[in-house]
Amino acid sequence: MSSVESHQEQLSQSDPSPSPNSCSSFELIDMDAGSLYEPVSPHWFYCKIIDSKETWIPFNSEDSQQLEEAYGSGKDCNGRVVPTDGGRYDVHLGERMRYAVYWDELASEVRRCTWFYKGDKDNKYVPYSESFSQVLEETYKLAVTLDEWKKKLESPNREIIILHNPKLMVHYQPIAGCDEWGSTPTEQGRPRTVKRGVENISVDIHCGEPLQIDHLVFVVHGIGPACDLRFRSIVQCVNDFRSVSLNLLQTHFKKAQENQQIGRVEFLPVNWHSPLHSTGVDVDLQRITLPSINRLRHFTNDTILDVFFYNSPTYCQTIVDTVASEMNRIYTLFLQRNPDFKGGVSIAGHSLGSLILFDILTNQKDSLGDIDSEKGSLNIAVDQGDVPTLEEDLKKLQLSEFFNVFEKEKVDKEALMLCTDRDLQEMGIPLGPRKKILNYFRTRKNSVVSVKYPRLIYKPEIFFAFGSPIGMFLTVRGLKRIDPTYKFPTCKGFFNIYHPFDPVAYRIEPMVVPGVEFEPMLIPHHKGRKRMHLELREGLTRMSMDLKNNLLGSLRMAWKSFTRAPYPALQASETAEETEAEPESSLEKSSDINMDETSAAVKEVPPINVGMLNGGQRIDYVLQEKPIESFNEYLFALQSHLCYWESEDTVLLVLKEIYQTQGIFLDQPLQ
């Protein structure tokens, strides 16, 4: 038996044909000898480097069709640009390259694919080059037309491809290194399956995204370049968030889609980590970093130090400038590419990114006059912590006798910092105390470095914070209470969304209503109802309370029946109504007691005024933990902080709130 035949037999044994129901089955090519030739249907792919390995990914069906139409239009492909992936990427057809539009990313090779072979380590199919695919197609056409098979071709890499018959086509890869006799690749290679047409390989090809964009959301990442446990970038995580939203629109906004009321929400990532670490600070840190435990120290420098950078006025300015300018740049570019866009804009931040957005929003100006504002605008609406008063400062300087002078002239600390020596002299303050006061407040003023917050060129409708430490940072800054009347100058809504086990997340509502204890809003499961283990837990709690209340009620009734004095016979007719009404009233009292105890146990809280930060609506929203997470909350703590990107419950809440601003609601309200 020849080596080719033996390889053919090995292939038939080791790589059996898939079932007829499979889209990758080459049994679908049911071609008798002499059948008419039908041209192959091309599909466009792009190449991504994933885990240091090339992976070919198909464009969605609509993008592939657009690329094919542009290719077959008869016009010169050079300079021809086709937008793909909802307008987030451009394909330069002549170059066969795919470029990101809104962020920095390595360009990807693009290929018009018709013939494929199975890869080495995985079962994914790799497309042949366009030129060699054309050679394969011409050979195949000739074989079908003449019914002459066992055609042998040599690839540009000197590998052998043999078309045995319409159902069996094999690529022989040579084994590395030939012996001294110069054996051919066919004799030494191992076979790989060759497929013609994308319909005959197992690959997921998605439909295109709706063309209409209803709303734009900018998403800002937290510390470090990686955003989840798989060490993926903010671009990849936002891609997941967007994919989940497209699926939920089909399942939960089906009526609105059928009525063509909605299109989709576009989510675009905002990266600030790379510009920060390109300032040269990494080189400075490397010089002072100890050589031991190198990987851990490198991780610390690359991630955790972002928190310290943000607390440094110098680097805080760099961070807020980068975030604001990036959002403004992307917004301007988005409008240029989508001139018919009439929707609103919202912003979302994860972890430290939410704090950055909070500070930017706090320091916006509603008027069109001022471009920049200084750090601390929230001080107007937030009670200060341990900041000394003017009277305390004067007491510290042993100049308390002059407090009445300042009070009479209505001079507070802020005004005093603006006073000159002549101003104090006109108030009748002697030279010595004047010098002490001016020196003290000049020193205090210079020690406070202000951060200039850039102005956003749009007014966000809603601010979503995921796993946010905003509450903790505000407290550490000395802000004890947020005034209930305070709201962002330019943003109407604010949702603080967190997982119950997220170690970085903090609540906001207790800072608005510090004297009342109440639970956050529970985010409904995207399939409706609560998760089963939570319902079971609540059901058992409710059952135990019912048993307790019923037992106490029965004991009270029994005790009353034993201790009730007998009524005189003559009074029986006179007090008939009273005696008939008494058991009822006793039951009512018992019922009242039960209801009171039950409500106390369940802690039903009346509506609470949480201020205007979210337009009078609730601010804190907590996700439901999964059953496996409830076994050990410490084990899942880190995962909980990174769970938001693929959380259907989180995405659905975002979509629900966004579309409610447009008067569009879920098909069925979630319980």
- Residues annotated as catalytic are 351
Cα 97 from Cα 99, distance rounded (Å): 7
DSSP state, 420? -
Of 266, 363, 284, 377, whose CA–CA distance to 321 is shortest? 363
Question: Phi-psi bin for 497: left (phi > 0), alpha (psi -120 to 50), beta?
Answer: beta
Contact indicator for 483, 381 with CB cutoff of 8 Å: yes
Backbone angles phi, psi at 16, to 5 degrees: -60, 155
Q: Which pairing describes strands 452-453 and 479-482: parallel, antiparallel, or unpaired?
A: unpaired
Residue with tokens 């902080």: 641
Contact indicator for 116, 125 with CB cutoff of 8 Å: yes
Cα 50 from Cα 118, distance rounded (Å): 18
Using DSSP's 3-state secondary structure scheme, residue 187 falls into: helix
Helices of type H across 427-469 = 431-447
DSSP per-residue string spanning 297-343: HHHIIIIIHHHHHHHSHHHHHHHHHHHHHHHHHHHHHHHHH-TT---
Q: Which pairing describes strands 43-50 and 53-58: parallel, antiparallel, or unpaired?
A: antiparallel
Cα 661 from Cα 664, distance rounded (Å): 7
Using DSSP's 3-state secondary structure scheme, residue 615 falls into: coil
CB burial of residue 49 (10 Å; 0-12, 13-18, 19+): exposed
Contact indicator for 347, 217 with CB cutoff of 8 Å: yes
DSSP state, 214? E
Contact indicator for 203, 46 with CB cutoff of 8 Å: no
- Let me know how long the chain is: 671
Cα 117 from Cα 523, distance rounded (Å): 47
Cα 209 from Cα 101, distance rounded (Å): 17
Q: Which pairing describes strands 160-165 and 151-154: parallel, antiparallel, or unpaired?
A: antiparallel
CA distances to 162, 218, 505, 559, 608 from 465, rounded to whole Å, are: 58, 12, 10, 56, 21
> What crossing angle do the helices spanning 532-563 and 576-602 adopt, rounded to 10°?
150
CB burial of residue 663 (10 Å; 0-12, 13-18, 19+): exposed
Cα 81 from Cα 193, distance rounded (Å): 34
Which residues, other chains included, contact 647 with Cβ-Cβ below 8 Å and sequence gap of 6+? 244, 623
